[in-house]
Structures are given as structure tokens and as C-alpha cells.
């Protein structure tokens, strides 16, 4: 196969593979995440379980469906108004089915690939400071460092993987403002950096050899507004803007150098929060991409997040 054919194959698989694990990093916050630093007492252990059913809107060109279960544990320390979360880790488990469109080189006809496994482990410690203003108003300023390790299920011979086979570093800064006794507004910014995946895809049948993936920085912005309906229930709306950096692929044994341009996605998320009992809360969520550029797929999910507190 000529190099342009290999390039089309690799770029096609890059697009498919990236949408298959795009949601697994779970590097987005929910509304009121940072506000919890102001209310929770010291020596609090938080256990969280997420469930998400993800699908794409770009049928049939970028069609996939994904079921996620995410397990997370956090431990919070307090020193006056200073909060430190020395341990916070999450591990996704994913089952995904990806539809490969017709016309892709060496993959004639429509093909569905199904795979499942453990995604990459993320460690996300946080430090925050609460500024009390009065009995009902306060400001929380916090920073989180997301570090995602290449621990997930990955095979260079598979066009669709659960793990990324690369490190991801995402520093994040947020501010949370409580006001009018019932409203919370969060504004968060972040930037993600990636190491290279030097074993992205082995297109040995096409004579391409090993393929290396690199990616420029990804920039993100989040805004959350939540309003109390009662002491045990609230509603929230969130906006996410993500500019995923350009991705480049190069093959060792062929003059192949292809890229996927920067992709910008805007997303809306709606949340209903319910306090089941004093230490247990349930979030019901609907998430929908409202615009996408650069060939990015538009996705949606329905999901739930259950959290439980243990005090020491």
C-alpha cells in the first residue's frame, strides 16, 4: 500500500480511537465540587461511583456507544480555612462499541469493533482556601493537578483501545462563589499536556511499521451555576469549552506525516442533585455537546453519580 493509503488508514483509526476513549479521563469537574471544601469537616473520606451511557450524534460517520463505570475515592484534610486533598484517585471501567464507516482503507465494508477493559488511572490532588464573607456567603479558591498514567487496557495491534498509552498532565485552577443563600457559581480553567504514544498503531500489513502519536496542549474552560430548590435538592447547569490540541502521527518505515487539526467542542450539562441522607448524595445528569469543529464528533451521555461520606 502506498503511503497516502496508509495515511488515510492511520488518520481514520486515530479519529475512531480518540472518540472511543475521549470520555474516560473524566477530567471535567461537576458544579459545587470545590464548594465541598468549605463545608466538609477535616478527616473526611469520600467514596464516589459514576455511571454513564455515552453515544455519538454523528451517525453513521463517527458512530460509537460506550458504557462507563468510574470508581473514585478522596480524602480531605482541613487546617482552618485551608483544605488539602492529598489523595484523590479515579479508575474508569469501559465497554465500547465503535462503528467503522465504509471506504476506510484495508477495512472494506462497515465494521463494528467491540472492546472493554480498564481505562487509565488518574490521580488528582487538590489544595484550596475558603474566604468566609458572612454566614451564607464565601469564596473558595482551589487548584487541582490531574495526572493520568498509562495504566489502562491497550494493544498497539488494536485500532480501538480503552487506555491512551501516554501520560497526561492537567493543572487546573477554579474559583467557587456562594451567594444569596442558595446559589453557587464556579469558574474553572485548565490546560492539558501529553507525552508521546510511540506505539499508537502497528499497521504492519500495510508496511507502515510503528506509528507515533503526539498532541499539542488542550485548553479547557468550565462554568457552573447551581441553585437550591430545598435543603436536600438542587438543580445545576454547566458549560464546558474544550480546545483539543492538534494531533500528529508519523510512521517509522514510510514517509508518513499526517495530522488531525485542533478540535473545539462546546458542551452543556444539566444536573439534579438529591441528598439521600446526611452522608449520601445522588446526582442525575444529562450531558450534550452543542457544537464541535475540526471534525470532532458530538456526543451525549446520561449518567448518575453517587457519593458517600465517612468521617474520622
Question: How far, in Å, CA of 12 to CA of 27, rounded?
Answer: 25
Portion of the chain with pLDDT greater than 90, in percent: 58
Q: Are 127 and 51 in contact (CB under 8 A)?
A: no
Q: Which of 244, 168, 227 is nearest to 15 (CA)?
A: 244
Report the alpha-carbon distance of residue 143 to residue 213 in Å, rounded: 29
Q: Answer yes or no: is pLDDT of 11 > 50.
A: yes
The pLDDT assigned to 74 comes to 97
The residues that bridge with 132 in the sheet, in sequence order, are 138
Q: pLDDT at residue 12 above 50?
A: yes
* Number of H-type helices and E-type strands within the chain: 2, 17
For residue 138, give Cα distances in angstroms to 37, 170, 177: 11, 26, 6
- The whole-angstrom separation of Cα 120 and Cα 70 is 11
Q: What percent of the chain has pLDDT over 70?
A: 81
Total number of domains in the chain? 1
Does residue 19 have a pLDDT over 50? no
- pLDDT digits over 264-298, tens only? 999 999 999 999 999 999 999 999 999 989 878 88
Cell of 11: 488518520
Three-state SS for 56?
strand
pLDDT band at 104 (very low <50, low <70, confident <90, very high): low
Average pLDDT, the chain: 85
Q: Model-level pTM? A: 0.89
Q: Which domain holds residue 87?
A: 3-311
**What's 141's domain CATH number?**
2.40.160.40
Amino acid at each position: 500500500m502506498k503511503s497516502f493509503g496508509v495515511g488515510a488508514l492511520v488518520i481514520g483509526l486515530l479519529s475512531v480511537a480518540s472518540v472511543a476513549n475521549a470520555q474516560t479521563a473524566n477530567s471535567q469537574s461537576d458544579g459545587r465540587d470545590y464548594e465541598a471544601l468549605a463545608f466538609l469537616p477535616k478527616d473526611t473520606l469520600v467514596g464516589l461511583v459514576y455511571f454513564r451511557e455515552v453515544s455519538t450524534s454523528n451517525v453513521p460517520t463517527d458512530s460509537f456507544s460506550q458504557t462507563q463505570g468510574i470508581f473514585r475515592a478522596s480524602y480531605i484534610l482541613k487546617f482552618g480555612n485551608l483544605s488539602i486533598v492529598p489523595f484523590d484517585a479515579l479508575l474508569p471501567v469501559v465497554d465500547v462499541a465503535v462503528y467503522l464507516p465504509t471506504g476506510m482503507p484495508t477495512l472494506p465494508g462497515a465494521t463494528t469493533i467491540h472492546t472493554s477493559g480498564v481505562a487509565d488511572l488518574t490521580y488528582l490532588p487538590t489544595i484550596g482556601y475558603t474566604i468566609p464573607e458572612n454566614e451564607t456567603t464565601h469564596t473558595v479558591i482551589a487548584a487541582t493537578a490531574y495526572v493520568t498514567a498509562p495504566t489502562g487496557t491497550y494493544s498497539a495491534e488494536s485500532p480501538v483501545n480503552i487506555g491512551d498509552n501516554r501520560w497526561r498532565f492537567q493543572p487546573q485552577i477554579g474559583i467557587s462563589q456562594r451567594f444569596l443563600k442558595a446559589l453557587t457559581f464556579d469558574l474553572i480553567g485548565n490546560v492539558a499536556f501529553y507525552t508521546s504514544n510511540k506505539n499508537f498503531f502497528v499497521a504492519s500489513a500495510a508496511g507502515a511499521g510503528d506509528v507515533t502519536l503526539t498532541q499539542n496542549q488542550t485548553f479547557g474552560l468550565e462554568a457552573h451555576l447551581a441553585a437550591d430548590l430545598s435543603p436536600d435538592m438542587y438543580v445545576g447547569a454547566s458549560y464546558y469549552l474544550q480546545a483539543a490540541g492538534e494531533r500528529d502521527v508519523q510512521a517509522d518505515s514510510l514517509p508518513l506525516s499526517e495530522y488531525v487539526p485542533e478540535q473545539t467542542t462546546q458542551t452543556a450539562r444539566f444536573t439534579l442533585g438529591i441528598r439521600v441522607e446526611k452522608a449520601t448524595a445522588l446526582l442525575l445528569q444529562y450531558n450534550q455537546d452543542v457544537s464541535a469543529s475540526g471534525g470532532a464528533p458530538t456526543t451525549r451521555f446520561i449518567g448518575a453519580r453517587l457519593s458517600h461520606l465517612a468521617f474520622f
